[in-house]
Structure 1
Amino acid sequence: MANQVEPRLIQPLYDELQKERFVTLATIDYETGGPNVSAISWVLAKDESTIYFSVDNRSRILENIAANNKVVINLIANESTYSIAGEAIIKEERLQDVPLKLALIEVSINEVRDVMFYGSKIVSEIQYDKTYDKRAAERLDKQVMDAMKKA
């Protein structure tokens, strides 16, 4: 049986992308032309067809997107694994109301593909812990997510 493909986020995925969470981002490396995968957490579904994410404005991700705007976001949610393919633009080089120099990237979704291997499901969500000052991390995370929601 073929995996399901959608032109936009289904409701459970949209709901999962309303808060900070772990995802991986694949870009095309601007120097090597090969794949480049990064883990990010400041990600937000603006609507069913658009995802925002923020990264340090010195990140290699930005150089990669400038050279080739095709991206894939890998999301583990809804008991499965999803490949969200789209085209990225640098919406803001400096995200407002955030103390760090972060860029805001907008991804226009082309397809959402369930890529979980046949006959299986995810039984536990990925968890991570911030290893620096917990209060500072919570404050920064709130500032970034609020700024993305306003954008």
Structure 2
Amino acid sequence: MANIVEPVLTAELIQALQEERIVTIATIDFEKGTPNVSAISWVYAMNEASVRFAVDQRSRIVENVRSNGAVTLNVIANESVYSISGKASIQADRMEGVPLKLALVEIAIEEVRDVMFYGSKISVEPKYEKTYDARAAAKLDSQVLSAIQAL
């Protein structure tokens, strides 16, 4: 069902955002003032009102958030497409316990919209696969997700 608007994440979206999935984030480019969209994977719903994610500290996302905290996540889950908007802030410039130089960003959620077009549903959610060593990927994912939840 399209066009549902909520002030917080539903229980189903919290669960979806505590599982590995592709998420896109729209930020405002700090140089051009135009929308900038990136795909991210280390995303975790802390609760109904906040979502955290980790990105390389050199990512344009980090500078964009520093300049303008307005962000929107786009998530495909539960047979629909959701737009999650809010204010982002840098929680850590460098996450502890992670071998990569990652920044931790938290979004205070202001609005959650079901933006799937009328009369349809997602029948197959997008999948991706990591192209490097599966054991190394699993270890890194575990380290990053533990660090996201710990701060």
TM range (shorter): over 0.9
Amino acid at match of 2:62: L
Distance in 1 of aligned mates of 2:87 and 2:97 = 26
1:76 is paired with a residue whose SS is strand
The residue correspondences of 1:88-107 to structure 2 (distance < 5 A) are 88-107=88-107
Counterpart of 1:117 in structure 2 is 117
Q: Which ranges of 4 or more aligned residues in structure 1 deviate by more than 6 Å?
A: none
Counterpart of 1:83 in structure 2 is 83
Counterpart of 1:134 in structure 2 is 134
Aligned-pair Cα RMSD in Å: 1.1
CA deviation vs aligned residue, 1:70-105 (integer Å, no higher than 9, x gap): 000000001000000000000011111100010000
1:13 is paired with a residue whose SS is helix
Distance in 1 of aligned mates of 2:17 and 2:32 = 31
Amino acid at match of 2:101: K
Identity %: 60
CA contact (8 A) 1:20 1:145 kept: no
Q: Given the two structures, how large is their TM-score scaled by the length of structure 2? A: 0.97
1:12–1:95: structure 2 CA closer, same or farther, 3 Å change rule? same
The residue correspondences of 1:9-20 to structure 2 (distance < 5 A) are 9-20=9-20
1:88 is paired with a residue whose SS is strand
Q: Which runs of 5+ in 1 are unaligned?
A: none
- The count of corresponding residues between Structure 1 and Structure 2 is 151
Please state how far the C-alpha of 1:2 moved relative to its aligned partner: 6.5
Q: Given the two structures, how large is their TM-score scaled by the length of structure 1? A: 0.97
Counterpart of 1:55 in structure 2 is 55
2:21 is paired with a residue whose SS is coil
Counterpart of 1:149 in structure 2 is 149
